[in-house]
Structure 1
Amino acid sequence: MSAHNIDIQLNPVKSTITLGIPIIILCFLSSFYSIIDLYWIGGLGTSAIVCMGYISNFIYAINNLGDGIGRSTNILISNAFGAKEIEKTEKYAEQGLLLILTLSIIIPIVFIPLVEPICAMTNIMQYCEQIYAYIAPCLGFIIIIMINNFFSAILGGEGDTKRATIIIVAGNIFNILLDPILIFNLKMGMLGASIATIAGGIFSFILFVYLYSIKKDTLVKIHLNGFKLDLEIIKEIIFLAIPIIITNIIITIIGIIITYSLHIYASPIAVFTYIIILNIQTTVFTPIQGILKGLCIVTGHLAGAKRFLEIKKTIIKIFSLGLAIAIFIAFALSIFHVPIINMFSTEYVVMNEIRNILMFVVIYIITFPIIMGSSYVFFGLKKSSYTLMFLIFNLIALTTFIFIFNHILCLGSIGIHLSIILSNVLEAITMILVLRRMLNSKINALNLENESCQVIN
């Protein structure tokens, strides 16, 4: 067992933060890349940013088909390390990669022809040409993005988040450098932004191939002869991945509902503002998200070793840290939002819309550690279906509140953001209560098992 895995068992809180630091850097730079990408695309006009609001939801759903396989494989590898079943980690990695390759062939064939019908169905045909110019090349090369996400997850599963971060960040930097050249210098517009994204992914892919096929110093090995179909392991990966994939699809649906509701009940300015705020939120959330992703890995290792009391203690400390960071971020954003927003627009209507929804943004930031943290712990416990169940609950609550506040009370964008907050608060409270009950049940069952063993001995 590697030093990473030994440290996770002995110092779970320290390991959560240690594993989280490279992920924080990755999340921050990825979010920063998204903001820079949005900044360059913003030079094409307001309509281009509105397009990205729809594109990002669609791309998120497609990418996360691969991410679902990668994350489920990551969790199973973490559990196998915790149970000291090292050989099994390689089988999970090989069968997971086989699934990724299969998906990367199916996705472009199925989804590229659906872009225009989806635009027509959602009444956004005025944006269809720009959306297609960006999304079609990305779907055509989806194999690159999916494999990068997968290899990054595998490295994380063995506790090596540092090299995974370096490789992904290198691709994002390459993307950022290409953006202005392709978008403006070569006058390729949205197509240029798409090609820059693909080129960045190819750069990361080359580095992953070097690491696994040439350097070969990873703990989890992937052998070509492992590409023989193993139905039992495939079923295990898919069983855990399906709730994760559906969860990501529902997150996309929620994003589309919010974007479309703002478009219908408010104005294009409200959509524009929401997209900007969403990207800012993603960036400022990176310290919390990085630590919570580290918690997922640690939870997987400890669950494999059946150390549920340590999981509970670790969760309490990490959640407290996450809440403290969230409160600081909310306070800072409430003070410094003006210069941040001015990076994207200095129009009075945009600033006025930001002021109207700022309170809701602050509350959302504070609920984020509980919702995201509980989700990652459920993933680590191999209970991804619980996260799915709570997200469905959130979706039902969100659509109900939007109907009440907007269709009946006609509150506009404020009603939509109020709906987001109320549904998130309800989800956070319910998740933490269920998680607490689940861990207490596992701890009690393990204590009874140990007592029975002592009596027999």
Structure 2
Amino acid sequence: MTNKNVELMRGNPETAVKKLAIPIMISMILTALYNIIDGIWVAGLGPTAIAGIGFVTPIFMVLNGASVGLGNGATSSISRFIGAKNHEMANKSVEHSLFIFLIASIILTIVLLIIQKPLLMSYGASGQTLNEALAYSTPLFLGLIAFMFSNGCSGILRGEGDMKRSMYVVVITVILNATLDPIFIYTLGLGSAGASIATIVSSAIAAFVMLYWILIKKDTYVNVTLKNFKSDLNLAKDILKVGIPSSLDMLIMAIAMSIYLIIISQVGGDYGIATFTSGQRLYLFAIMPLTAIGSAVIAVSGSAFGAKNGDYLSRTHTYGSKFGLALGTAITLILVIFATPLATIFAYTAETASLVPGIALYLQIACPALILTGIGIPSSFFYQGIGKGIYSLMFTILREIIFVVPLVYLFVFVFNFGLVGIWLGLCIGRAVASILNYLFARYEVGRLKAKFGN
């Protein structure tokens, strides 16, 4: 089965992107359900708990982003060696990736536990809202190693084109998370902490299963033997030159999110925070299918780059962008048309019903950016596939900091549009940056085609 996956990546790029994207899409949507399910169950605890967890969102993005980013580094490195038909280096790339995941887990856990309280307070969390935020974040950060290896091992499997088995693991763990949430939150009386504990337990199970396949069962294309591990600084750099910028993508997003939270807190108070974080859960959920297309683009473009096939590189990016544009349009229509019933998911109690109009307005104004994000995300992931992770980071900074933040400031403090101004700034800034991202990716494709001579 695994060899067939490798041959798929080396074959028709359109077929490869489509076949690889679909199981990744299902996996990511189900993974995003962790956050959605947490939000649904926590809604029963009241607005303070919703706002408290909302303040943790940007930090959680860093935590999850680091694991996904390093997983992308593994995907890019492994797929490029597979494209070059260098099995030995693909094996070594996996070994180095596992050690990188472990070291990063230890460092990030220590740092996040130290800075979480002052960081949450800097966002505006205080009193009971701060207590709820800490109750949710502390178990989450203590269990960082589960996220790191769950997302990291998924990246290893993506590198060799094996998407289906990680999808099967995710299906089981999401069901487990949905079952454990009400038990930990209400039956055991753990409140907000119960939601994060359930998520950590589910992620740990996913990580253990994939590590079993890679290290013990050894039925993957790569053959990992840690007993003979010898560090290779150049190989570690090859993984990190994509992994670090990809991780920093989420750090930049978190910094931008922190700025948004500060402005929203000033403009709309706890109501604005609860509205934004609830709507943002749906936005992040909706973006998962587009990210799945991008993840498939990493593997296929990495293989094409390793094989020095310029035509396959071009076709990979073009097909990924068309796929993303079509899907982004469909998702936007759903979010805009069904904004009110979707908003009710996070405000289904009498105490939180007042949030429904605000959440719906956020979806209707901010989410149309997803249409053009459909061409921006495959472009960013294309850079990672060819080992140019710094380009992806550059466009994240351009989108969230250079474009969105000034537009938010303009609409809120100059034009006095209030919360609507923030939603407008998010939509317009992200849309414009996505167009520029796509155009630059096409330029890079042309440069590589000329270099490879095909």
Match of 2:35 in 1: 34
Report the CA distance shift for 1:18/1:443 in structure 2 as closer, same or farther (over 3 A): same
Q: Distance in 2 between matches of 1:122 and 1:352?
A: 24
Q: Contact between 1:98 and 1:227, CA under 8 Å: does it hold in 2?
A: no
What does the per-residue CA deviation read over 1:77-104, in whole Å, with 9 as the maximum and x for residues that have no partner? 0000000011101111111111211122
Partner residue of 1:369?
Answer: 374
Mapped contact 2:13–2:315 kept (Cα < 8 A): no
For 1:292, give the aligned amino acid. Answer: G
1:424 matched to 2:439? The reply is: no
Q: Aligned to 1:221, what secondary structure does the other structure show?
A: coil
Residues 16-415 of structure 1: pairs in structure 2 closer than 5 A: 16-126=17-127, 127-345=129-347, 349-354=354-359, 356-394=361-399, 395-415=401-421
- 1:381 is aligned with what amino acid? I
1:173 CA drift (Å):
2.0
Contact 1:296 1:376 (C-alpha < 8 Å) held by counterparts: yes
Please identify, of 228-237 and 96-105, the stretch whose mean Cα deviation from structure 2 is larger: 228-237
d(CA) in 2 for partners of 1:57, 1:433: 29
Q: CA deviation at 1:209?
A: 3.2
Instruction: Tell me the matched-pair count.
Output: 448
Question: 1 CA distance for matches of 2:450 and 2:279?
Answer: 44
Q: Distance in 2 between matches of 1:102 and 1:318?
A: 33
C-alpha distance in 2, partners of 1:215/1:223? 12
Measured against aligned partners, the alpha-carbon deviations of 1:352-407 in whole angstroms (never above 9, x if no partner) come to 32454444234212122122111111111111111111122221222212222222
Q: Which runs of 5+ in 2 are unaligned?
A: none
TM-score (norm 1): 0.92
Secondary structure at the counterpart of residue 84 of structure 1? coil
Deviation at 1:146, TM superposition (A): 0.6
CA contact (8 A) 1:171 1:202 kept: no
- Structure 2 distance, partners of 1:445, 1:214, is 41
Q: C-alpha displacement at 1:250, in angstroms?
A: 0.1
Query: 1:454 is matched with which residue?
Result: none
Contact 2:301 2:312 in 1 (8 A): no
Q: Distance in 1 between matches of 2:195 and 2:306?
A: 43
For 2:203 and 2:243, locate their aligned partners in 1 and report how far apart those are by CA, in whole Å: 23
Q: Tell me how far apart the structure 2 counterparts of residues 76 and 82 of structure 1 sit (CA, whole Å).
A: 10
CA RMSD of aligned residues (A): 2.0
1:439 to 445, 449, 452: 445
Read off the aligned partner of 2:218 and give its amino acid letter.
Answer: K
Q: Distance in 1 between matches of 2:108 and 2:150?
A: 16
How much does 1:288 deviate? 3.0
SS in 1 for 2:223: coil
Deviation, structure 1 residue 348: 6.6
113 and 232 in structure 1: CA distance in 2 versus 1, 3 angstrom threshold: same
Name the SS of the counterpart of 2:338 in structure 1.
Answer: helix
Separation in 2 of the partners of 1:86 and 1:208? Answer: 20
Distance in 2 between residues matched to 1:357 and 1:203, nearest whole Å: 35
Over 3 Å counting, the alpha-carbon distance change for 1:355 and 1:69 in structure 2 is closer
**What secondary structure is seen at the aligned counterpart in 1 of 2:317?**
helix
CA spacing shift, 1:106–1:282, aligned 2, 3 Å: closer
CA deviation profile, 1:112-139 (whole Å, cap 9, x unmatched)? 1211222333331222222222212222
Which amino acid in the other structure matches residue 18 of structure 2?
Answer: I
Shift of 1:155: 0.5
Whether contact under 8 Å (1:95, 1:226) holds in the other structure is no
Could you tell me the TM-score, scaled by structure 2's length?
0.93
Per the alignment, residue 455 of structure 1 pairs with none
Q: Shift in Å at residue 269 of structure 1?
A: 2.4
Paired AA for residue 3 in structure 1 = K
Letter in 2 for 1:200: S
Identity %: 29
Q: Does the Cα contact within 8 Å between 2:339 and 2:360 map onto a contact in 1?
A: no
8 Å CA contact 1:170–1:203 kept in 2: the answer is no
Deviations 1:310-342 (A, max 9, x none): 221232233223212222222233222222222
Structure 2 partner of 1:453:
none
